[in-house]
Structures are given as structure tokens and as C-alpha cells.
Structure 1
Amino acid sequence: MSHIFPRHCHSNPPVAVAGDGVYLIDSTGKRYLDGSGGAAVSCLGHSDQTVTDAIKAQLDKLAFAHTGFLTSEPAEALADLLIDHAPGDLDRVYLVSGGSEATEAAIKLARQYWVEKGEPGRSKLIARKQSYHGNTIGALSAGGNEWRRQQFGPLLLDVSHIAPCYDYRLREDGETPEAYGLRAAQALEDEILRLGPDTVMAFMAEPVVGATAGALAPAPGYFKRIREICDKYGVLLILDEVMCGMGRTGSLFACEQDGIAPDILCIAKGLGAGYQPIGAMLCSAAIYDTIAAGSGFFQHGHTYIGHPTAAAAGLAVVQSILDRDLVARVQTQGAALAERLHDRLGQHPHVGDIRGRGLFRGVELVQDRATKAPFDPAKGVAAKIKKAAFAEGLICYPMSGTIDGRQGDHILLAPPFIISDSELDELTDKLTRAISQVI
């Protein structure tokens, strides 16, 4: 009997014992192609010697030092490397242990910034429906997926949620993608005006929505207009790149492809590539300088922020992505994956949309392709596909509630950046078989 409290009490998962490139291996010797990188985490695969060597070397020197007393060489080096490549005027890095911590810190920093600027009336956060920003109370409050929020509703903060930028379902007949992008962005200005511009502290969004919408990329011009609206009303723009950042969509930072930079940016998952738990919140010089000129103290913190061993892993991961030109590889292999998905599933009667950027791809499943009607949630299509794919030796990330937290099913794919052409073939073959078995 296991004493682990699992994600699902009625499951009995295999025991993972080894990793080999894009594969995980269980205690029976069965190999699983990691087609989702876990949850878009394992960007370098499961046996990267450079990263493991960096971790071992750091442990031989220093495992841990509390940031209330000391900084460390790997933390400083990782911060320098991130800022060297960060968009806009992002200038400071706050290292944490994961994505939820990063988004929680971003929300608290946005609030403290306005307090220290002498505008304490700015306390309202706007986010989007069908977003996911983490599982802590603040992060879950910002998230807009009703299924994940429902039972915790009485505990959550009062956050406004506007409609997502969801071209496949919300663009009207005859409307161009560009016109739709501007219309979708207008929802932000409307909400700011409804709440009162002097009460809004920040807007939070994922550049490419991951877990709750399946690699949902924005319409052309959407985020440029969002940036303009934020600037017009002095609202901070927080971008959550926890899942879509660190090269996953074909640029080191996902927002680069939309030609904008945020005031605060959150990363995790691919930052540590699964080798250590690490995340980061990056903020602009203006925000940092406001705190520095005021209290001088960000009223936040966790024991393991800036953990030297985790920072050493993150440094080795980011350096490997840059040195091996893996962002360019993501673009190439991402296009190859998209081509295979369209070839195998593009005309499937129950595939409504194939979308995404780089090695971050989503397949939305429908009951009726012509009307876009979703499957009855009671059928549990996503869960059944996950089980069928796993039996085939494929790890993918099917989810339900794509449309409104209850209806809709999608499959999220986020394989390691090192995936080969033959492994892409294997991925699409196994996924197609799993879909056919279930539907």
C-alpha cells in the first residue's frame, strides 16, 4: 500500500524509474513517449547530462543558502542571463519554486507597487475566462476556468474575467482575424471603464493559453491593442508564460512573437525542464525602482526562493537552449508536428481545430465538425483519450472544459525540444490510434 496522496485516489499509476531522451520508462520496462513534456515541463527530455552535471557540481559546492542572509553565484548568473534576453525593460528577477508561486508573487507585487506609488485605490485585477494561472488562492482567483474554481469559490479573491481571445469559437462569420483581435481586446477597455480606471491595478493573461484551452494563440494584433489599453489607463500588464515560455512557442519569451513586452512576466516549467523545481517573476526597472525608493522591501517571500541548486539547474537549462539553438529547432520541429497533425487529423470528422505555435499544439475535439458542437461532458472524451494514449505508450495532455469550464475537449501536445522526425511520427501515430479507439 502506498502512503502517497495521489492526484486521483482511484488511480494506480506505474512507477517511473528512468528517462531516456523523449521517453520515460516504468518499473516493468515499458517506454512512454512524453508527448506533452509532462505539463510542458521537460523541454530538454529526461536524460540531459549537461544539466545533471551542473546540479551535481553545485551540490558539491553549496546546496542551499537562505536569501534573507545571502545570495548565490548561480542565482545571480541566472538572473543576468534572463535579463540579457528578456523583452522590453524587464530588469529584475525574483526566483521562486514554480509557476503558482510566480503568478502569486506577480499579483502581490502589482498591488504593492500601486500602494508605494501613492495610489492605494488600485486593487482590482482583470484576467480572462478559460485561463489558468496556478493553484494557490491568488493564482486560482486569477484563473478563469470554472471547473477548477468551483468548489473553492468562497475562498477566492474578487477578480474580473473578460472573454478569452478564442478565434475558433468567438470570431463571427465574415469577420477578419485582425478585426476580431481588436474586438476581443476591446473587452479589456470596457471592463476597465466599468470598474473605474483608478481602481484597476493590473491585467493578467497567458500569451498562448495552455492547460485550460489547448494551445490557444491570440488573433493578430490582439496583444498590441491590449498593451495600448494598459498604457492608456496606467494598468500593469502581467504575462503568464509559465507554460508557453522558455522557447516552447518558438521564441525564448512567448510575447516576443506579438511584438510587446509586459511590466511583469512569469516563467517556470521549461525554466528548470523538470530537473529542479524553479520559477521566476521578472519585473520592469520602473516597478523595482518604485519599491526601492519607497519601503525598499517586497513584502513577500518563501524559504526556497533563489535556491542555489535549482538556480544552477535553471542556468544550465537556459544556457543549453541558447547554446544549442533549440529555439530554432522548436520552430522547425513545431512546423513538422503541425504538418503531421493536419495530415492525420485535419479532416477527421471529430477534430474541429488544430492550433498553436512551435512545439505547443492543441487539437480541439467536437461531436459535430460543421456546427462545432462539443461532446456531452458526461462522455468523458478527454479522460478516455488520455487513458488510451497511455496504453499505447504515449503521454499527452487531454483536458475537458475547453469552452466554458464544463463543455469542450482538447488534447495539448508539448514534446521535448529534442524530439526527432521519427519520434514525431510515433507521436502522431499513437495519438491517432488513441482518438480512433475512443471516438
Structure 2
Amino acid sequence: MTSPTTTPATTQDGIRDHLWMHMANHKHLFEGGTTPVITRGEGHHIYDDAGRGYIDGLAGLFVVQVGHGREEIAQTAYEQSKKLGFMPLWSYAHEPAVQLAERLAGYAPGDLNRVFFTSGGGDSVESAFKLAKNFFKLQGKPGKHKVISRAVAYHGTPHGALTITSLPGLRNQFEPLVPGALKVPNTNFYRADARFDGDEKAFGRWAADRIEEQILFEGADSVAAVFLEPVQNAGGCFPPPPGYFERVREICDEYDVLLVSDETICAFGRVGSMFACNDFGYVPDIITCAKGLTSGYAPLGAMIASDRLFEPFGRGGETFGHGYTFGGHPVACAVAMTNLDIFEREGLNDRVQENAPAFRSTLEKLLALDIVGDVRGEGYFYGIELVKDKATKESFTDEESERILKGFVTNKLWEEGLYCRADDRGDPVIQLSPPLTCGPAEFEEMEAILRSVLTQAQELL
């Protein structure tokens, strides 16, 4: 047995023998393969242990909005650690949490003024799920416990959040899950039925009405909440069609169902505004967020709820029996404040809105390739769907996806200097979500690498 003080022969030995990576297959490590080791980041680049640089086309994991290596954020963490390194929010408060809560409430729309801090996005979704059930119990409606989410959607891995997640590959091994999760169609217009004949608004109305249909089928007295991302991540960046969220808001109001805007990815400038619900013109009952809140410099998430939902736990005197040891960690909250200072000082939200058309048009040049079926997204958040046959939109077989997407495209993009995401949890897509500090020059650089690799991938079909 290796002692705790023994240094492994190599970093790769340490990975193979001790590190359990997330969402990862480890088999290659026992067949002589290796895992990339990232040692530092600077701006919109990351660097491996051989000193080679890569464009961070995914902002880590939709996280590093302000870019890598911000010394002022590190300094903030240092200063706060000296002053107060830890204090829970269990019946006590500390200044960084109070200040950040006030700031987030100011960014949020409507009466979303109550901020419950968590450790990350999945915990925020878990918290919203529990609040929805708790709230309706206190309203004398204990039967309202079911939740609706969309096909192929990802909402986290905690057991409650996982039941809201709609990806069988992530769910099946942990069943039975929390009961009461219902699924409706997503807004993948590229795969929409031919009857809509290019009419996005009609498709959006149809997709939204499926939520009403599900509520009526189950009974409105049993449905507590609808969980939707402003732009759905899994499946490859599905934007909302015109009028979609307006109709969903009407449905939720009519049947007394809470609308949860899961903005774990889309908040903090990823689409444009601090909260993407503002970009798409709707006011939810709850916002869940994380990732870009600190740009990844410290782990932190939040559930932001309306005053109405907090009322039973405020003047009503009830206690929400839920919390996290590290939720609202003082160092993480201080880091978030400095991160948001950078947003405002450098105008990053305006930067995204100004550069988003250039990002779209640059990526749309890839539509000239036979293997690229669709380019879709909003802001700095895009998916490129790959197809076997462009005319029929025929997708890859499982074997082709394994061979081309995972076996070639992923590795080749990395070799060419681009870190991004190749995902086949729905149809095969490549996702891009760069730091918000990137601009047209970086867009062109990413497109050139993608064009080269995808041109080669075409020859494998």
C-alpha cells in the first residue's frame, strides 16, 4: 500500500492508481493511455504539464467567464481567508454573503429578492426542488410534488436533481430515483416535425403547450414546478423559439405551478445579461445558478426565490430544513463580488451582446461542410450538430459516434490546440462556450481549428 507521503513515480501513475475523475471512463489508463494534466491558465488559454497552450473554448465547463489568472480575484481570496476563512450560514450571517445576496437580488428580475447559497449548480436545483414541495405543503397543497423538465435536459446529479435530469445514461444506474419527474419535448427546432414548415413561433407554441398537456394529464393539484434552462445545454444548445417562455409563464400562472429558470450555465453573461431570463423576457419564480457566479475561482451556487416563496419562512415563522456546510462560504462570496466587479468595470455583458453576432456568423461558416448539419445557440454559447447526411439530417449510428466523435474529433481538436466539448448525449454535437473576454480574433482561431478537424472527420464517414 502506498503511504500518504509517498510521491507516485509519475503524475500519470497517480491518476491511474488514486484519482477518481468525474464523468470519466478510466479504462485507457490501464491500457497504457494517459490523461491530459492542466497546470495553469492565463486569459483564454490553458496550459498542460508539457507547457503547451490550448484555447479554452469551453471556459473550463461553461464557468470561467472573466478568463484565467485574474490576480485581483486571487488577492481577494487571500485577504478574505485571513479575515474570516469559514463560517456557515446556519442561523448566523457574515458580511460577504449579505453583500452578495443584495447584489444578486439587484440583478434578478421582479421580486426575486431572496438568495439561498449553495455549493454549486446541482445543489441549487436540489434546493429549488425541495423548496417547491415545502412551499406547497405550507399552502395546504401537499399533493403538489411533481416536477416537469424537458427531454435530453441536464439539471445536475444530486438524487433529486438527477430525477429532473432527462438523460438515461446518467439516470439508469442510480434508479430508483425520486418519484414524480415528468418529461416534455425540448425546443430542438432543427429536429422539429415537418408540419411546422420553418415556423419557429408555431413550434415554440406547440412545445410550450406540451407542458400544459402534461399538467392536465397528471392533474394540476399534483404538479409543483417546471424546470427549464433558458438555452438548453444537453443535446447541443437549444434556444427558446419566439414566444415560448411567454406561453410557459402563462401556463404556470394558470395552474399555480412554479417556473424555475435553471441558469447554472446561462447566467452571468453567457447569453448576455446577468440572468438570461432577462434576455428572453420572462420572470421566473426561482433562478438557480452557479458556475459563472465566481468564474470558477471558488465553488459557489445560489437559489434565488421570489418574496412570495420566502414569505412562509419569513413572517410565517417556518424553517426551511435544508442547507449546505459550504453554501455561502465567505471566501467564495468575496470572490464572487470581485468577479462581478470585473464584469461591471470591463462591461462584459455589453461585450457579449456586441460580439454575439460575430460569434454566430463565424461559426456558421462551418455550415459549408457536409458533416455540419446545424449551428445554434445564443450569446457565447453554441452547439454545432454533426450529421451523416446533410440532406436527410441522418445522424451517426452509435458505432460512428464512438469512432468519429469520441475516437477522432475529440482527440484531434485537442491536438490542434482547442479545448471544447464533443457530446453525444443526444445527437452528436460540438459545444463552444469560451470566456467572455474572447472576441472576433479568437472566434476566427477556433473556427479554423474546427474547420480543419471536421474536414478530416468527413473522410471517416
TM-score band, normalised by shorter chain: over 0.9
1:52 to 74, 78, 83: 74
Aligned residue number for residue 5 of structure 1: 20
1:201 match: 224
For the aligned residues, what is the CA RMSD? 1.4
Q: Deviations over 1:367-403 (max 9, x none)?
A: 111111101121223323221111111100110032x
Which one-letter code corresponds to 1:233 in the other structure? Y
Provide the residue aligned with 1:405 in structure 2: none
Residue of structure 1 in register with 2:190 after alignment: 168
Q: Closer, same or farther in 2 for the Cα pair 1:253/1:130, shift >3 Å?
A: same
* Paired residue secondary structure (1:283): strand
Match of 1:378 among 399, 419, 423: 399
Please state how far the C-alpha of 1:221 moved relative to its aligned partner: 0.3
1:352 pairs, out of 346, 350, 373, with: 373
Give how far 1:322 is off: 2.1
Aligned partners of 1:181 and 1:219 also within 8 Å: yes
Aligned-residue offset at 1:318: 1.9
Deviation at 1:56, TM superposition (A): 1.5
> 2:179 and 2:345 mapped to 1: Cα distance?
42
8 Å Cα contact 1:116/1:291 also seen in 2: no
1:267-286 equivalences under 5 Å are 267-286=289-308
Q: Which amino acid aligns with 2:451?
A: T
Residues 169-184 of structure 1 aligned to structure 2 (within 5 Å): 169-173=191-195, 174=197, 176-184=199-207
Q: Output aligned runs, 1:205-220, within 5 Å.
A: 205-210=228-233, 212-220=234-242
- Residue 396 of structure 1 corresponds to 420
Q: Does 1:255 align with 2:255?
A: no
Q: Which residue of 1 aligns with 2:100?
A: 78
Tell me, in whole angstroms, the C-alpha distance in 2 between the residues paired with 1:262 and 1:333.
Answer: 27
Residue type matched to 1:216 in 2?
F
Structure 1 residue 203: Cα displacement:
0.7
Q: 1:241 touches 1:265 (CA, 8 Å); kept in 2?
A: yes
How far off its partner does 1:172 sit? 2.9
CA contact (8 A) 2:160 2:177 kept: no
SS of 2:90's equivalent in the other structure is: coil
Secondary structure at the aligned position of 2:226 is classed as: strand
231-240 or 49-58, which moves further after superposition? 49-58
SS at structure 2 position matched to 1:346: helix
CA contact (8 A) 1:127 1:161 kept: yes
Amino acid at match of 2:300: I
1:175 shift after superposition? 5.2
Partner of residue 416, structure 1: 435
How far apart, CA to CA, are the structure 1 residues paired with 2:395 and 2:285? 37
Which deviates more, 133-142 or 288-297? Answer: 288-297
**SS at 2:236's partner residue?**
coil
Per-residue CA distance 1:123-160 (angstroms, 9 max, x = gap):
11111111100011111100112222222232343301
Instruction: Check whether the contact 1:113–1:291 (CA below 8 A) recurs between aligned residues.
Output: no
Q: Match of 1:433? A: 452
Alignment correspondent of 1:365 = 386
| TM-score where L is the length of structure 1 | 0.95
| CA-CA distance at 1:16 after TM superposition | 1.6
How many Å separate the matches in 1 of 2:283 and 2:390?
Answer: 37
Provide the rounded CA distance (Å) in 2 between the counterparts of 1:215 and 1:231: 27
Contact (CA 8 Å) 2:227, 2:259: kept in 1 or not? yes
Shift of 1:92: 0.5
Residue ranges of structure 2 left out of the alignment (5+ in a row):
1-12
CA shift for structure 1 position 356? 0.6
Q: Which amino acid aligns with 1:244?
A: C
Distance 2:239 2:342 in 1: 26
Letter aligned with residue 5 of structure 1 = W
Supply the distance in 2 between the matched residues of 1:291 and 1:199 (Cα, whole angstroms).
Answer: 22
Alignment partners' CA distance in 2, 1:164 and 1:178 = 14
CA apart distance, 1:237: 0.5
Equivalent residue letter for 1:76:
V
1:126 is the counterpart of 2:148 = yes
Which residues of 2 match residues 100-119 of structure 1 at below 5 A?
Answer: 100-119=122-141
Distance 2:96 2:264 in 1: 21
Letter in 2 for 1:186: D
Matched, 1:304 2:326: yes
The structure 1 residue matched to 2:50, chosen from 8, 13, 28, is 28
| CA distance, structure 1, for counterparts of residue 180 and residue 107 of structure 2 | 35
Q: Is the 8 A contact 2:376 2:382 kept in 1?
A: yes
Provide, for residues 43-72 of structure 1, a one-character-per-residue CA deviation record: whole Å limited to 9, x for no partner: 111111222221122112111012125211
Give deviations 1:151-174, integer Å, cap 9, x for gaps: 223234330101112111124342
Q: 8 Å contact 2:300–2:332 — kept in the other structure?
A: yes
Q: Single out whichever of 221-230 and 238-247 deviates more from structure 2.
A: 238-247
* C-alpha spacing 1:317/1:95, structure 2 compared with 1 (3 Å): same
Tell me if the contact between 2:260 and 2:286 (Cα under 8 Å) persists in the aligned partners.
yes
For the residue of structure 2 that corresponds to 1:338, the secondary structure is helix
Structure 2 distance, partners of 1:225, 1:86, is 21
2:110 matched to which residue of 1? 88
How many equivalent residue pairs? 432
Counterparts of residues 280-359 of structure 1 (less than 5 Å): 280-343=302-365, 345-359=366-380
Match of residue 147 from structure 1: 169
- Partners of 1:323 and 1:80 lie apart in 2 by 19
Residue identity opposite 1:89 in structure 2: D
Structure 1, unpaired ranges of 5+: 403-407
Instruction: Describe the SS at the equivalent of 1:155.
Output: coil
